[in-house]
Amino acid sequence: MRTAVIVCLLVLAGCNAPTGGANETPAETATAAPVPSDSTLAPGVTEAGVVDPERLAAAHRAAIENTSYTLIANRTERYENGTVRSGLRIRVELAADRGYHARAATAGPDGPVFLGTPPASAVFWSNGSVYVRRLTKDDSTIYNGFRPREGGAGTWKYWVATVPFGGGQADPTSFYTGVFRSVAVDTVERGTDGDTVVYRLRGSGLREASFTGEFADVRNVSLRATVTERGLVRSLRLRFTGTADAEPVRVEWRVRYRDVSATTIERPGWFERAVQSS
């Protein structure tokens, strides 16, 4: 079953991930150590785990508000034989002034259709007043300018909230609240990533099936996340097995933030061609 934007999955809905490739989320490099019981951890996080999902999600929102960053999200659904059922790969570079450079690719018979019937790939760019895109589908590439409706498809919010976190009314706050409310974090390790103190969270206990969307009989849940002291959820990997259309499906969803407060965007080389084709 295919949705108009993205197949639903998490608390709110679901994103689809890619089949792999250039934008795979790299592993977090942190030196782990047990968390001392008297440590000051991230908002909503103690040595016992995530005790206040809403507070952690709100801190994450505050950490990325009014600043630049690069967001990478990948989601893949595979049948037992390895065949891709649905896939989405997205990378968005967002400037402080909310100009953006977004790249997206879809795959699979049940993949998201916001670029048309998968497989398809596209690049979108905007400085906030001019919007252009390059869409590749059915062995053909088109270039054009466009004008998104307020808050709709093609706006910067669409690329950093709607697409990566589930479509519809999705947003990072609801996403992270739902994930950490649903999966019990049972391990917290303190470490460093460069000069930044991070907490590596691990969990596998399913408290509630609020993120399962169309999937039934959810099992084999695995959660890995890296959180900074400010509450930025720098990386997250969610895996689980569910049943869809009477078949078992393995789902993997990865989200990562990089270059926070250090992301810039440049106009693509095909900009003039897209403007002239409008």
> Domain range for residue 156?
33-276
Query: Does the pLDDT value for residue 32 go beyond 60?
Result: no
Query: Does the pLDDT value for residue 24 go beyond 50?
Result: no
In this prediction, residue 212 carries a pLDDT of 64
In this prediction, residue 16 carries a pLDDT of 39
129 in any annotated domain: yes
1 in any annotated domain: no
Half-sphere exposure in the Cβ direction for 215 (13 Å, CA)? 30
18 in any annotated domain: no
H or E stretch at 133? strand 131-137
119 in any annotated domain: yes
H or E stretch at 182? helix 172-182
24 in any annotated domain: no
- Of 44, 93, 74, 12, the closest CA to residue 232 belongs to 44
Please check whether residue 193 is in contact with residue 28, taking contact to mean a CB–CB distance below 8 angstroms.
Answer: yes
CATH of the domain at 80: 2.50.20
Distance CA 201, CA 104 (A): 28
User: At CA 223, angle to CA 82 and CA 88, rounded to 5?
Assistant: 45
Radius of gyration (C-alpha) of the chain in whole angstroms: 19
Q: Which residues contact 160 (CB under 8 A, 6 or more apart)?
A: 71, 92, 94, 100, 172
Distance CA 210, CA 94 (A): 30
- Is the peptide bond between 119 and the residue preceding it cis, with omega within 30 degrees of 0? yes
* Cα-to-chain-centroid distance, residue 90: 8
In this prediction, residue 116 carries a pLDDT of 95
174 in any annotated domain: yes
Please check whether residue 146 is in contact with residue 132, taking contact to mean a CB–CB distance below 8 angstroms.
Answer: yes
123 in any annotated domain: yes
Query: Does the pLDDT value for residue 9 go beyond 90?
Result: no
The mean pLDDT of the chain is 87
In this prediction, residue 169 carries a pLDDT of 82
Tokens standing for residue 5: 């934007």
| Tens digit of each residue's pLDDT (9 = 90 or more) over 220-273 | 999 999 999 999 999 999 999 999 989 999 999 999 999 999 999 999 999 999
Query: Does the pLDDT value for residue 27 go beyond 50?
Result: no
Q: Is the pTM of this model over 0.75?
A: yes
27 in any annotated domain: no
In this prediction, residue 95 carries a pLDDT of 98
Q: Which amino acid is at 130?
A: V
Handedness of CA 235, 161, 69, 121 (dihedral sign): positive
- Which residue bears the tokens 């989601």? 75
Give 33 or 53, the one with higher predicted confidence: 53
Distance CA 96, CA 94 (A): 7
Please check whether residue 253 is in contact with residue 17, taking contact to mean a CB–CB distance below 8 angstroms.
Answer: yes
Q: Which amino acid is at 22?
A: A
For the chain, give the percent of residues with pLDDT over 70: 85
Look at the chain and report how many structural domains it folds into.
1
Q: Which amino acid is at 268?
A: P
